[in-house]
A and B are shown apart, each in its own frame.
Chain A
Amino acid sequence: MKFSATINIKLKKQIKDAKGEAVSAVLSRIGLEDKAKVRIGKIFELEVNAENEDAAKTKLNKIIFDVLMNPIVETYEITTFEVIN
Chain B
Amino acid sequence: MIKFETIKKLEKLGLSQYEYEEIVKKLNRKPNELELYLFSAMWSEHCGYKHSKKYLDMLPRTKSLFSSENAGGIKIGNHVIFFKTESHNHPSAVEPYQGAATGIGGILRDILAMNARPIALLNSLKFGPIERMKLPDDINNAVSIINNDTHCDMESFSRNKYLLNGVAEGISDYGNSTGVPTIGGEVSFNECYNLSPLVNVMAAGICHKNNVKTAAAKENLYVTLIGSATGRDGLFGAAFASKELEGDSSDRLSVQIGDAYTKKKLIEATLEILQSKNVFCSQDLGAAGLLSSTSEMAAKGDVSMDLYLDKVPLREENMQPYEVMLSESQERMVFGANKAGVDEIVKICKKYELNAAIIGKTGKGNTYNLYHNDILLASVPVKALCKPVLYDLNPKKPEYIDVLKKKKLFLDTKINTPQNIKYLIFKITAAPAFASKKYIYSQYDSTVCARTLKNPHFIGVSPLYIREEDTTIGFSMDSNEDLCLLNPYTGAFNIIFESYRNAVSSGFEPLGITNCLNFANPEKPDVAYQFTETIKGIKDALCTLNLPVVSGNVSFYNEGVKKTDIHTDDVKIKINPTPVIGMLSILKTKNPIYTRSLSDETIFVIGKQINKNSCTGASLYQRLFFNFLGGKPDIIDFELEMKLKSAIFDLNIKGEISGAIDVSKGGIIGALLIMLFNSFNFNDNKNSEQLGFSCCLPCDIDILFGEITGRYLISAKNADKVEQYLIGSQIPYEKLGKTNNTGNLNLGFVKINLAELREIYENSLERKA
Contacts and interface: CB of A to CB of B under 8 A. Distances in A.
A72 B316 contact: no
Interface stretch (B187-195, B253-261, B277-285, B372-380): B253-261
B261 A18 contact: yes
Contact of A72 (B98, B232, B261, B330): B98
Given A72-B95, A72-B98, A73-B257, A16 B228 contact: yes
Contact of B252 (A13, A16, A25, A72): A72
A13 B98 contact: no
Interface string A48-62: 000000000000000
Interface in A43-85: 70-73
A15 interface: yes
Given A72-B95, A72-B255, A16 B261 contact: no
Q: How many A residues are at the interface, by size bracket?
A: 10 to 19
A48 B513 CA distance: 56
Which residue of A13, A16, A70, A72 has the most chain B CB atoms within 10 A of its CB atom?
A16
Nearest to A73: B257
B689 interface: no
Contacts of A25: 353
Interface in A1-56: 13-16, 18, 25
A14 B233 contact: yes
B177 to A, nearest CB: 11
A15 B257 contact: yes
Contacts of A18: 259, 261-262
A16 B257 CA distance: 8
Contact of A16 (B97, B233, B255): B233
Given A25-B353, A72-B255, A16 B95 contact: no
Interface string B90-124: 00001101100000000000000000000000000
Given A72-B94, A72-B252, A73-B98, A16 B353 contact: no
Interface string B338-353: 0000000000000001
A20 to B, nearest CB: 11
Given A25-B353, A72-B94, A72-B95, A14 B252 contact: no
B232 A14 contact: yes
A17 B638 CA distance: 55
B95 A15 contact: no
Interface string B63-100: 00000000000000000000000000000001101100
B315 interface: yes
Given A72-B252, A72-B255, A16 B231 contact: yes
A36 to B, nearest CB: 14
B255 A13 contact: no
B585 interface: no
Nearest to A17: B315
Contacts of B231: 14-16
A15 B229 CA distance: 11
B487 interface: no
A14 B98 contact: no
Interface SS majority for chain A: loop
B329 interface: yes
A62 to B, nearest CB: 16
Q: How many B residues are at the interface, by size bracket?
A: 20 to 34
B259 A16 contact: yes
Contacts of A14: 231-233, 315-316
A15 B233 contact: yes
A25 B261 CA distance: 15
Nearest to A14: B232
Contact of B316 (A13, A70, A73): A13
Contacts of B259: 16, 18
B81 to A, nearest CB: 32
A26 B533 CA distance: 57
Interface in B221-237: 228-229, 231-233
A25 B265 CA distance: 15
A29 to B, nearest CB: 10
Nearest to B97: A70
A16 B329 contact: yes
A77 to B, nearest CB: 19
A14 B330 CA distance: 13
Given A72-B252, A72-B255, A16 B98 contact: no
A25 B353 CA distance: 9
Contacts of A70: 95, 97
Contacts of A71: 252
Contacts of B228: 16
Contacts of A72: 94-95, 98, 252, 255
Interface in B346-380: 353
A72 B98 CA distance: 10
A45 B720 CA distance: 74
A71 B255 CA distance: 12
A59 B261 CA distance: 36
Contacts of A15: 231, 233, 257
A13 B315 CA distance: 10
Interface in B288-346: 315-316, 329-330
A25 B229 CA distance: 14
A72 B231 CA distance: 16
A14 B315 CA distance: 8
Contacts of B257: 15-16, 73
A14 B329 CA distance: 10
Contacts of B255: 72-73
B657 to A, nearest CB: 51
A70 B94 CA distance: 12
A15 B255 CA distance: 10
A22 to B, nearest CB: 9
B739 to A, nearest CB: 50
Interface string B259-272: 10110000000000
Contacts of B330: 16
A40 to B, nearest CB: 14
Which residue of B94, B97, B315 has the most chain A CB atoms within 10 A of its CB atom?
B315
B365 to A, nearest CB: 36
Nearest to A71: B252
8 contacts: A14-B231, A15-B231, A15-B233, A16-B231, A16-B259, A18-B262, A70-B97, A73-B98
Given A14-B316, A73-B98, 16 more contacts: A14-B232, A14-B233, A14-B315, A15-B231, A15-B257, A16-B228, A16-B229, A16-B315, A16-B330, A18-B261, A25-B353, A70-B95, A70-B97, A72-B252, A72-B255, A73-B255
Q: Enumerate the 3 nearest inter-chain pairs by beta-carbon distance, A residue then B residue, closest first.
A: A14-B232, A72-B95, A72-B252
Interface of B: 94-95, 97-98, 228-229, 231-233, 252, 255, 257, 259, 261-262, 315-316, 329-330, 353
